[in-house]
């Protein structure tokens, strides 16, 4: 089931990349909260996506990305604890609601694939608030949650997303 969903999302993303209309690329950075707060210091990620407008107020799309949690290093007397990086590839669907021309509320939901050793990934969700900084650039604030088997990955991030302008056929 998990692989079937991932396959469908990858196919949809591949088809959308061919079109280039509504193609988005972004970066994000933030801090962990909750279960990983003591093991991870900073989180950095990137995302690719494609969004189809379903009207003036609603957008629907697909998203894929990469998240990396850089580990904290602790030193207790003569022992140094080195934790590994925590890494995910989130794949999902995206929804954006535009109550005004320059502000959106939305989110992403899907599956995050864990890529570091011992990380199986889990359900991925990312509610967001965003603001247009220009005709093609967005500033967004988000909470990212990933439900793992024995813990919850949770971060608060700020990001910038750029939209590649669609070509107009005349």
Mean pLDDT by 10 residues, the chain (170 residues): 50 40 91 87 95 91 96 66 86 95 95 92 96 93 94 95 78
pLDDT at position 35 is 85
Assigned domain for 169 exists:
no
Beta pairing partners, 128? 106, 142
Q: Taking the model in full, what pTM does it have?
A: 0.79
Range of the domain at 131: 2-163
DSSP-derived letter for residue 120 is -
Separation between Cα atoms, residue 162 and residue 139, nearest integer Å: 9
* Number of domains composing the chain: 1
Q: What is the CATH number of the domain that holds 140?
A: 2.40.160.20
Q: Is residue 168 part of a domain?
A: no
* 28 domain-assigned: yes
CB 163 within 8 A of CB 23: yes
Other Cβ atoms less than 10 A from the Cβ of 112: the count is 27
Q: 147 near 170, Cβ under 8 Å?
A: no
User: Quick check: is 130 in a domain?
Assistant: yes
pLDDT at 11: 46
Q: Would you say residue 53 lies in a domain?
A: yes
Sign of CA dihedral 82, 83, 84, 86: negative
């Amino acid at each position: 089931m998990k692989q079937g969903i991932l396959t469908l999302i990858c196919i949809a993303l591949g088809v959308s990349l061919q079109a280039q209309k509504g193609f988005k690329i972004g970066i994000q950075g933030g801090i962990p909260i909750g279960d990983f707060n003591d093991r991870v210091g900073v989180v950095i990620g990137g995302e690719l996506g494609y969004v189809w407008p379903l009207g003036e107020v609603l957008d629907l799309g697909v998203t894929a990305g990469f998240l990396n949690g850089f580990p904290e290093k602790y030193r207790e007397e003569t022992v140094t604890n080195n934790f590994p990086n925590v890494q995910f590839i989130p794949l999902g669907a995206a929804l954006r609601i535009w109550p005004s021309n320059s502000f959106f509320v939305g989110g992403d939901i899907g599956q995050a694939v864990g890529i570091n050793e011992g990380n199986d990934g889990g359900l991925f969700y990312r509610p967001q608030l965003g603001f247009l900084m220009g005709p093609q650039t967005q500033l967004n604030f988000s909470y990212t949650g990933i439900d793992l088997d024995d813990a919850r990955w949770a971060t608060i991030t700020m990001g910038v997303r750029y939209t590649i302008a669609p070509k107009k056929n005349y």
